[in-house]
């Protein structure tokens, strides 16, 4: 699949320019036409005859402005959450249901005496937080 981002071109010019560049063996072409305030996704397929000669271009256009706004909001929320978790002087550790470490901030690494998060990732949380009572750590009860 080929993906193109179309900006500041007329619809007709963009479609002609980008479909002309499609190779005959390409099956799909996705175009994102990003103009304020709307974003449109155009997906097309080349139809070929028995001799593999292209004879038609079939496509659908969908408005994806809402999706783009949500995507932007999620990126901002993810960045803010990451900042909140990484920056405090408190140790923050994310563990899985099976009590393995998925992520730890720098403060948690310092508290555990570990130089690199890769050393802790995937390991049981009790090894680092409650080394004397690994299976009976009161924090996880």
Residues 47 and 98 both lie in one domain: no
59 and 44 Cβ atoms separated by less than 8 Å: yes
Q: How many structural domains comprise the chain? A: 2
**Residue 135: partners with Cβ closer than 8 Å, 6 or more residues away:** 126
Domain that holds residue 47: 2-68
| Residue 43 pLDDT | 80
pLDDT per residue rounded down to tens, the chain (141 residues): 344 444 444 555 655 555 555 554 455 656 666 665 777 777 888 788 888 877 787 888 888 888 888 999 999 999 999 999 988 889 898 989 888 999 999 998 988 888 888 888 998 887 777 766 656 666 655
The DSSP symbol for 8 reads S
Q: Is residue 43 part of a domain?
A: yes
With a threshold of 0.85, does the pTM exceed it? no
Q: What are the beta bridge partners of residue 46?
A: 57
66: left (phi over 0), alpha (psi -120 to 50) or beta: alpha
């Amino acid at each position: 699949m080929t993906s193109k981002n179309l900006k500041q071109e007329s619809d007709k010019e963009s479609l002609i320019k980008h479909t002309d560049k499609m190779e005959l063996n390409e099956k799909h072409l996705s175009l994102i036409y990003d103009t304020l305030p709307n974003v449109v996704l155009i997906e097309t397929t080349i139809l070929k005859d028995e001799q593999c000669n292209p004879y038609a271009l079939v496509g659908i256009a969908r408005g994806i402005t809402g999706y783009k706004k949500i995507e932007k909001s999620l990126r901002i929320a993810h960045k803010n959450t990451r900042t909140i978790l990484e920056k405090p002087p408190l140790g923050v550790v994310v563990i899985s249901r099976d009590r393995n470490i998925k992520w730890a901030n720098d403060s948690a690494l310092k508290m555990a005496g570990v130089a690199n998060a890769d050393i802790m990732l995937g390991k049981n949380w009790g090894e680092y937080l409650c080394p004397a009572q690994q299976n009976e750590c009161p924090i996880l009860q």
